[in-house]
Amino acid sequence: MSNSYKYIDTDYTYTDPKSGILRNLVDVTDTEVLLFVESVAVTKRIQELYETPIKTIGIESLFAIHKHLFQDIYAWAGKKRNVEISKDGKQFFPTTHFENAYRFIDTLILDYKKTSKTNIQQLVEKLAEILDNVNYLHPFREGNGRAQREFLRLLALEKGLTLNLNPPDNKNVYELYMQGTINSDVKTLTELILKQIENK
């Protein structure tokens, strides 16, 4: 799976112009070290959300989740990006229209919340649609995938369901997740979530 992200950041808002590394709160200047430190910190913060879940209200809850996960590493944790991002030649949602996207995603979340918890198929379809739109929005400079997977897990939890879209012992799940999100393939995402979702 390709990781060829491109960023339009002429003012070096997020990166150090000399090293190219993301500006961070732990003063790390090596990319590999930053990835390790970030992974350890985020893993700890995810565990905290398992113990004390954030209640999902709307798109604002995604920002709260991102802030919680990355608060130890980035000053911009939980804040919308102000750079344009593309992957494999496909641009994510333009920052100039974020407010419209927030409103639309909030309607999707509201529809999901109104769906009966006994209607698993419909819940899964709505979760796949939410994931597809949140991924296209890509509201953060870094950490979008981890934040949106946690967001979906918490949405499922509110319906008494468990959902893990990145199990450590199953790379196939992550590969299907990446395939579905990169290609905006809602069918693949629906099938994946249906396989991974369980009653508590």
Which domains, from first to last, does the chain contain? 7-199 (1.10.3290.10)
Instruction: Tell me the backbone φ, ψ of residue 91, rounded to 5 degrees.
Output: -80, 140
**Backbone φ/ψ region at 197: left (φ over 0), alpha (ψ -120 to 50), beta:** beta
pLDDT, tens digit, for every residue of 44-65? 999 999 999 999 999 999 999 9
pLDDT band at 186 (very low <50, low <70, confident <90, very high): very high
pTM for this entry: 0.94
How many other CB atoms sit within 10 Å of the CB of residue 116? 9
pLDDT of the residue at 19: 85
Strands (E), 25-89: 84-87
pLDDT of the residue at 179: 94
3-state secondary structure of 22: strand
Angle value at C-alpha 133, between 92 and 104, nearest 5 degrees: 110
pLDDT, tens digit, for every residue of 124-178? 999 999 999 999 999 999 999 999 999 999 999 999 999 999 888 889 999 999 9
pLDDT band at 88 (very low <50, low <70, confident <90, very high): confident
pLDDT, tens digit, for every residue of 2-24? 457 888 888 889 999 888 899 99
3-state secondary structure of 92: coil
Angle value at C-alpha 136, between 191 and 47, nearest 5 degrees: 70
pLDDT of the residue at 175: 94
Dihedral angle sign, alpha carbons of residues 23, 56, 167, 190? negative
pLDDT band at 1 (very low <50, low <70, confident <90, very high): very low
DSSP 162: E
Q: What's the CA gap between 96 and 78, in Å, rounded?
A: 18
